[in-house]
Each structure stands twice: as structure tokens, then as C-alpha cells.
């Protein structure tokens, strides 16, 4: 009887170490979702629900609610999720090529550079969380037209405001800590991603119920949701798996290589350097959204101004950056170009930090017909810039998917399930699932559960 190969994934639960990591990961995610339902002190729940039932379901508020796993809809202690940490991480990564001392530090000792980066990311996340909390509270109060959380450093409100600020900042750091626990004791390196993933997935049942309760547009919305989700997922997976394999040679081994070819007529595989089509991942979406939030957050500090022109300007800024209907083409067009631009910018930053030119030169490798060192880096940078275009355009298109969907299906503009098919949610979910799958597969191979070895 011929041997039959068995998938290594059937042994996932048999490895005690892997099973323990999976249980720890699931337990921490459950704890995170429980904490996400604890409201911040002083929240007017009636005013908050009325706000989200109206204008609060779209724009950058809707994006923040999506990214935080729905915690903004009840303004919980985890209302900001791990977003301030991600923003701090992006800021420090972008500062590396700008500040020569930081760039030298990262190149001279990459391991110590990573430790320094992690330490200062935590430090920077604290003030970023505090500033985000102040901005969110002021913005919510201004957009809702009523007080959702009493906030202000006056003689009557300073104690309650300080308490709210400390609690929300601590909630963000607690979420970051839970993510780090997952990365250390659960699925390695996937902590923060899984925290965001769990928040997005937890909203799916609520969105499906909302779509089902729409008696008039029920089937058209559900059909549109399924079609858009499938097409977007296929496009994201196709682009994220895209590679450009650049051939390289090792001159010191060429004599042996060609001797083996001539003597034994063996065709050995050509060594290649794979360059990713989508090197930046979901970071451009987050960074572009962060910048688009900034004007509205700043305007939130001036909407109560007694000066007429200042108040009008603040109202106009908030109206522009929080509109989501078909008439909000200016906002979505700006979002599209910012996502495409930041994809190129962030890809360039990451690619220059990897410094393939010097790495190939030190290992004795060379691209045929290209001088080693600086010339190789320029050549690879040109290739990376060309293959980044489809990834950047895809990110831009799926970033404005809610707007495009409303143009095709106007009924989607009033549906809370709109953000279920938004680019940000799908990109994060697909990316996290893919990375987690590859991580678990690596764990299985590390423990000896490889498909080619499992023969019965």
C-alpha cells in the first residue's frame, strides 16, 4: 500500500508547548475583550449612543472605532486600543533616516538599536496616549453637540478630568502589555496584531445583525458585502504574496558551480534575492489616517471659541474630515493620495534600512552586470520603487472602498456594516491571519511536525 502524507496541522494540538501557547493567547485575548467593555469614568452613555447612532458612525471616528475594536462606541478604558503605541513606533522609525546619530546607532549594532527603539517606543506611547485621550474627548464633545464626558482643567472639573485622563492612558498601556504577553508567552511576535485583530473580528456579529435588520436593503447589502470582501481578500493576498526575485551570484563559488554543471550535467537553482511588492503592510493606512485625524483633533480645541471666525473655521475642519457620504469626495481623494504617498515613503525608509547593497557585498554576492556596494543598492531601490506601485495603488483603492461602495450602492451609506468591508479592517485581518499561519507553521516545523516527515 503506498505511503500517504499527512498534514502537519493535524498534530497542532498534540504538541504540549504549542498547545500551551495557543491557550495562553486565547486567554489573554478573552481578558482584553472583557476589559474593552469597562467604560471610562464619567461617560454619558445615552449621549454617546445617540452620537454613534448618527454622525459618529463614519469618518475618522468610525475608523478609530474599527481599529480599537468597537471600544470607542462605549468609550471604554481601552478606547484608544494600542493605536498610540503604533503611532509612536512609526514616528521613531521615520526619525531614524532623518537624524544621522540614530541612523548610525541602528547600523553599528542592530540588536542594541532594536532594544533602544523598543524602550523609547514605550516611553513615547505614554504622552501619545494622553494627547490622544484629550483630543478624542474634546472631539466627541464637539461633534456630539453635547457633553459626553465632562472634561476641563477648571476648579470644578480638574480632578475628574485628571482621573479620566490617567485611566484612559493606563488602559492603553494595559492593552500594550497584554499584546507583549502574547508575543512572549503565546504566539511569538503577533501580540499587538492579534489584539487589533480580535477587536475587529468581535464587531462582525453586530454588523451582520445590523445588516439583517435592514428589511429594505437586506439582501443587496449582504450580497455587496460578501462580494466586496471576497474580491478584496483575494487582491490583498495576491499582492502581499507578490515577490520580485532578483538573481544573484557568488563569484568565489562560481568555479565549483560550473565544474559541477559540466561534470555531472546538473542544473543547480539560481540564487535569488526576493523583493516584496507590499513591503509596508498596513502602516501607510494607519499613518495616513493619523494625519487626517490630526486637523480634526486640533479643531476640537477651538470649536467652543468665542471668536466667530475661529469657531467657524474649526467647525468647517471637523465637518470636512468627518464626512462619509458620496459628497465627501475631497476627503476620500486626499486619503487615497496620502496612502499611496506614504506607501512609497515608508517602503523607501524600510528598504534603505535593510541596506542590501552592503549586505551582499559583505557576503561576496553580486547581481550580474551590476557593481557591488552603492550601485547595487541604487539598482535594487529602482526595482523596489517599480514593484511598489501595484501595492500602493491597491492600498489606496481599498482605503477608499467605503466611498466607492456608497457610489455603487447608496444604501450602504447609512449602514453600520459599511466598515466591515472597509480596507483597514480587511487588510489587518488578512495580514494577521497570514502572519499567524506562517508563525504557527514555523512552530510546527521547529517541533519536528513537518509534512514531508509525517508518513504513515
Mean pLDDT of 9-20: 74
List CB contacts of 39: < 8 A, sequence separation 6 or more.
Answer: 45, 74, 75, 76, 77
| Three-state SS at 403 | helix
C-alpha 398 chain-centroid distance: 14
For residues 263 and 388, state if they share a domain: yes
Higher pLDDT, 155 or 9: 155
Residue 436 maps to a domain: no
d(CA 64, CA 140): 12
For residues 197 and 214, state if they share a domain: no
* Sign of the alpha-carbon torsion through 146, 151, 153, 159: positive
| Three-state SS at 290 | helix
Q: Which residue has the cell 506611547?
A: 125
d(CA 204, CA 206): 5
Residue 4: pLDDT band by 50, 70, 90 thresholds? very low
> How, if at all, do strands 243-247 and 272-276 pair?
antiparallel
Higher pLDDT, 40 or 269: 40
Q: Residue 170's pLDDT is what?
A: 92
Specify whether the CB–CB gap between 137 and 101 falls below 8 A.
Answer: no
Mean pLDDT of 406-425: 56
For residues 48 and 188, state if they share a domain: yes
Statement: the pTM of the whole predicted model exceeds 0.85: no
Domain assignment of residue 65, given as a range: 1-202+452-456
Residue 324 maps to a domain: yes
Look at residue 252 and tell me whether its pLDDT is greater than 60.
Answer: no
Look at residue 59 and tell me whether its pLDDT is greater than 50.
Answer: yes
d(CA 17, CA 13): 9
For residues 69 and 88, state if they share a domain: yes
List CB contacts of 337: < 8 A, sequence separation 6 or more.
Answer: 396
What would the grid cell of residue 317 be?
Answer: 475642519
For residues 179 and 236, state if they share a domain: no
Q: Per-residue pLDDT tens for 163-203? A: 989 999 999 999 999 989 998 888 887 788 888 888 777 77
| Three-state SS at 213 | helix
Residue 427 maps to a domain: no
Residue 3: pLDDT band by 50, 70, 90 thresholds? very low
For residues 349 and 369, state if they share a domain: yes
Q: What is the DSSP letter of 249?
A: B
- DSSP letter for each residue of 327-393: T-HHHHHHHHHHHHHHHHHHHHHHHHHH-HHHHHHHTT-B-TTS-STHHHHHHHHHHHHHHHHHHHH
List CB contacts of 433: < 8 A, sequence separation 6 or more.
Answer: 197
Q: What is the mean pLDDT of the chain?
A: 76
Q: Which residue has the cell 509534512?
A: 451
d(CA 435, CA 415): 31
Helix axes 158-185, 16-35, angle to 10 degrees: 170
For residues 248 and 111, state if they share a domain: no
Using DSSP, how many helices (H) and how many strands (E) does the chain show? 18, 2
| Three-state SS at 396 | helix
Specify whether the CB–CB gap between 82 and 175 falls below 8 A.
Answer: yes
Higher pLDDT, 29 or 64: 29
For residues 196 and 226, state if they share a domain: no
| Three-state SS at 433 | helix
For residues 253 and 322, state if they share a domain: yes
The residues with which 274 forms a beta bridge, in sequence order, are: 245
Higher pLDDT, 293 or 90: 90
Residue 440 maps to a domain: no
d(CA 47, CA 141): 10
Higher pLDDT, 330 or 10: 330
For residues 344 and 282, state if they share a domain: yes
Q: Which residue has the cell 556596494?
A: 373
Give the least confident one: 1-5, 36-40, 231-235.
1-5
Mean pLDDT of 200-211: 74
For residues 57 and 142, state if they share a domain: yes
Residue 439 maps to a domain: no
Most confidently predicted of 78-92, 319-333, 416-430: 78-92
Q: Which residue, 63, 45, 17, is CA-closest to 282? A: 63
Residue 432 maps to a domain: no
Q: Percent of the chain scored above 90 by pLDDT?
A: 4
Residue 444 maps to a domain: no
The residues with which 39 forms a beta bridge, in sequence order, are: 76
Number of domains in the chain: 2
Mean pLDDT of 401-424: 59
Higher pLDDT, 456 or 101: 101
- Domain containing residue 411: CATH number: 1.10.3370.10
For residues 196 and 338, state if they share a domain: no
Q: Per-residue pLDDT tens for 16-44? A: 788 888 889 899 999 988 888 888 888 88
Residue 445 maps to a domain: no
Amino acid at each position: 500500500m503506498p505511503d500517504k502524507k499527512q498534514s502537519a496541522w493535524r498534530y497542532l494540538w498534540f504538541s504540549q508547548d504549542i498547545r500551551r501557547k495557543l491557550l495562553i493567547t486565547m486567554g489573554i485575548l478573552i481578558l482584553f475583550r472583557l476589559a474593552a467593555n469597562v467604560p471610562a469614568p464619567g461617560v454619558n452613555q445615552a449621549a454617546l449612543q445617540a452620537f454613534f447612532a448618527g454622525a459618529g458612525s463614519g469618518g475618522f471616528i468610525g475608523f478609530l472605532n474599527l481599529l480599537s475594536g468597537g471600544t470607542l462606541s462605549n468609550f471604554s478604558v481601552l478606547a484608544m486600543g494600542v493605536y498610540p503605541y503604533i503611532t509612536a513606533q512609526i514616528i521613531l522609525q521615520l526619525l531614524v533616516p532623518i537624524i544621522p546619530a540614530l541612523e548610525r546607532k541602528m547600523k553599528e549594532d542592530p540588536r542594541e538599536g532594536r532594544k533602544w527603539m523598543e524602550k523609547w517606543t514605550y516611553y513615547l506611547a505614554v504622552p501619545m496616549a494622553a494627547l490622544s485621550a484629550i483630543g478624542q474627548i474634546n472631539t466627541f464633545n464637539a461633534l456630539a453637540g453635547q457633553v459626553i464626558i465632562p472634561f476641563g482643567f477648571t476648579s470644578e472639573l480638574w480632578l475628574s478630568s485628571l482621573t479620566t485622563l490617567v485611566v484612559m492612558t493606563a488602559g492603553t498601556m494595559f492593552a500594550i502589555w497584554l499584546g507583549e504577553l502574547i508575543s512572549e508567552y503565546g504566539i511569538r511576535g503577533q501580540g499587538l496584531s492579534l489584539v487589533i485583530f480580535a477587536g475587529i473580528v468581535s464587531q462582525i456579529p453586530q454588523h451582520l445583525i445590523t445588516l439583517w435588520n435592514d428589511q429594505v436593503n437586506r439582501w443587496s447589502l449582504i450580497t455587496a458585502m460578501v462580494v466586496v470582501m471576497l474580491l478584496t481578500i483575494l487582491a490583498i493576498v495576491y499582492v502581499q504574496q507578490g515577490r520580485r526575485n532578483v538573481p544573484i551570484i557568488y563569484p568565489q563559488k562560481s568555479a565549483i558551480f560550473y565544474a559541477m554543471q559540466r561534470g555531472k550535467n546538473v542544473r543547480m537553482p539560481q540564487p535569488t534575492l526576493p523583493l516584496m511588492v507590499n513591503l509596508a503592510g498596513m502602516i501607510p493606512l494607519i499613518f495616513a489616517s493619523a494625519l487626517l485625524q490630526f486637523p480634526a483633533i486640533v479643531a476640537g480645541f477651538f470649536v467652543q471659541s468665542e471668536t466667530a471666525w475661529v469657531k467657524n473655521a474649526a467647525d468647517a475642519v471637523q465637518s470636512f474630515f468627518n464626512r462619509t457620504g458620496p459628497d465627501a469626495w475631497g476627503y476620500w481623494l486626499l486619503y487615497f493620495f496620502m496612502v499611496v504617498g506614504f506607501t512609497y515613503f515608508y517602503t523607501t525608509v524600510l528598504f534603505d534600512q535593510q541596506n542590501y547593497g552592503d549586505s551582499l557585498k559583505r557576503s561576496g554576492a553580486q547581481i550580474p552586470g551590476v557593481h557591488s556596494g552603492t550601485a547595487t543598492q541604487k539598482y535594487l531601490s529602482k526595482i523596489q520603487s517599480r514593484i511598489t506601485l501595484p501595492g500602493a495603488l491597491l492600498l489606496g483603492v481599498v482605503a477608499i472602498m467605503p466611498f466607492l461602495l456608497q457610489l455603487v450602492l447608496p444604501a450602504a451609506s447609512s449602514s453600520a456594516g459599511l466598515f466591515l468591508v472597509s480596507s483597514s479592517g480587511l487588510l489587518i485581518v488578512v495580514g494577521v491571519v497570514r502572519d499567524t499561519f506562517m508563525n504557527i507553521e514555523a512552530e510546527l516545523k521547529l517541533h519536528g511536525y513537518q509534512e514531508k516527515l509525517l508518513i504513515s
